[in-house]
Structures are given as structure tokens and as C-alpha cells.
Amino acid sequence: MYYHFKVKILSLLLLISMFIISVSIVFAQSESKPIVVTSTTVLSSIVRDLAGDRVSVIAIVSPSVCPAHYDIKPSDVIVFRRAKLILYHGFEPWIKQLKEVSGTQAPLVKISGPWNTPSNLKRLYEKVAKVLSERLGLNVNSSLNKALKAIDEVALRLKSIAEEYDFSSVKVIVMKWQKPFIVWLGFNVVKDYPPPERISTKDMIELERLGREYKVQLVIDNLQSGVWFGEELARRIGAVHVVLTNFPGTLTGLNNVTKVMEYNVEQLVKAIENYKTLSQIARLEEQITLYKYIIIALIVVAVLELVLIIALRVSRK
């Protein structure tokens, strides 16, 4: 028993040592650069697009987690302590507590506003560019103009796809945090719903009723909010469940929000095609069922005719 306890202690010490070494390496590499700490990968991706390798950027919250529900870790205290600038959205209840605990002298700057439509995203880039200029003295005008142009180009491509696949004819129920993007794309939004933990039984019944009544085709979920409710709702109303993300970094290649938008549209197109396929299968199954009934009816008629013929022959004898 003592041996196993000793092994556990040594393993724990090894993990702590590896963490300290990794943190030390990160900070050693960034000694000559200001460290910008952000609450989310949305802000960190914007800082990288604007400042490039002139700063070291660290995002606190994993992109697969809702920032409002994040639990701070000891490593976050170390990161905050070394920061030159800290950016956050304003919906992170833990951010000010972390600043106090860490004792950091870095300014805490709120970059408020939504980001999942092109126009809103452009405003966020402009806000971050201003902060980088005022707080760190960085001139990011060139990269800002490049980023804004890229957003406009992506917006045009996405609108073209929306028109090609006739998004406006597709009826959807959507998780609240994805609604602005879905509305911007032109989908027919029947109803939106809050995070699963806020949904009442009454809400569930109403959403299911609307889904059936309006023949909703897609239930659109938000990865970071939990997807169990949307999946179950889609199953109940015969819709296709599709999961979108609001944060860069959830998958390889999703380096910024425009990449996220493109990925989300790809998922929506696949979901629409899946719905069409499922609808065709359902129609075929209905036809097969109808043919079965027709065949059964014909067999019954044939049997009755045979019985009638036999009865007539018997009566003539």
C-alpha cells in the first residue's frame, strides 16, 4: 500500500514539475514581447490577426467551454500575473476575482458586443485595434484593413451559399446564442431557446408543439452551451440536429471567427442535404407502405372472388 501511495505522490510531483517547466518555457519565449491575455479564443484570435508575432497571446478558457461557466485554475493566476494587457467580453463572472487574486498590474479592458455576424465582428476588430494602439503602442492599421476586407469577402461568399441553398425556405429552431448568425443568413426562425439549464417543462412542450406544427427542418444548437436538449428536440419533431460553434479553436483550422462562420455554414448545408435525404426516404417508406396495403387489398379481393366462384359452382350442383 505504501508503494502505491509513493507512486501516486511521485506521479503528482512529476505532473507539477512538467507544468512549471511548460509555463516557464512559454514565459521565457515571450520575455521580449508583451503578453496579452484574453478570456476567450474569440479575442485571442483577433489579437493574433492584428498584432501577429509582436505579442504573445494566451486565452484562458478552452473554446469548447462556455466562458460564463468557467472555473479558474492556479495556472490562470500565473498567466494573469505576467500579463501586460487583459481583454475580456463582460459576461465572465470570474474575471475580476482572478485579477484580484493574481495581483496583476495589467489593465483589464472590456471588449463588449456580439461577434457572430460580419458587421459585429468588424466592430470587435476595430475595438481591439484601438486598445492595442492605446495600451501597447502598436500600429495595427495595415492588418486591421486586411482583416476587415477578409471579413467582407467571407460575408459575400456565405450570402451566396445561403441563396444557392435557399436558406430562407428552411424552417429552424435555434439556440439563442446562434440566432444572430442564423437570422443574418436568412433562415426562417420559428423559435429560439435559451441554454438547456434554463429551459422549463413548459418551454419544452411549446418548442415541440411549434416544431411539429411548422414542420421545422433543423434544430440548430450551440456547442458550448450543451447539445443534449437540441438533439432530443430534433428527434421528437423529426428534424435534423446540427451543432455550430461560437469560438475559434474547437477544431483544427478554425483559427479565427471568419473560419468559424465558414465551418458553421458547411454544417448547415450538410444538415439541409441530410434533411432532404431523410425526407425522400420517408416518402419512399410511405409509398412502400401504401403499396403493401394495395397488394393486401388485391389479395383479399382475389380471395373473395375465388370464394364466390366456388360458392356459385357448388350451388349449381
Q: Which three cell numbers stand for residue 120?
A: 459585429
DSSP 239: P
Instruction: List, as one string, the DSSP characters of 125-165.
Output: HHHHHHHHHHHH----HHHHHHHHHHHHHHHHHHHHHHHHT
My answer on whether 148 and 184 are in the same domain is: no
What pLDDT does 293 receive?
62
The answer as to whether 240 is a domain residue is: yes
CA distance 112 to 261: 19
Residue type, 205: I
Average pLDDT over residues 137-164: 98
Whether residue 198 lies inside any domain: the answer is yes
Residue 254 φ/ψ, nearest 5 degrees = -85, 75
> Are 182 and 174 spatial neighbours (Cβ–Cβ below 8 Å)?
yes
Q: Give residue 43's pLDDT.
A: 98
Q: Among 25-34, 49-58, 86-95, 97-106, whose mean pLDDT is lowest?
A: 25-34
CATH number at residue 125: 3.40.50.1980
Residue 69 pLDDT more than 60? yes
pLDDT on residue 289: 59
Orientation angle between helical segments 95-102 and 74-82, nearest 10 degrees = 70
Q: What residue numbers bound the domain in which 183 lies?
A: 165-279
User: What pLDDT does residue 32 have?
Assistant: 79
Q: What band does 61 get if pLDDT is binned at 50, 70 and 90?
A: very high
Q: Domain for residue 146, yes or no?
A: yes
Distance, in Å, from the CA atom of 58 to the CA atom of 80, rounded to the nearest integer, reads 10
pLDDT number for residue 287? 53
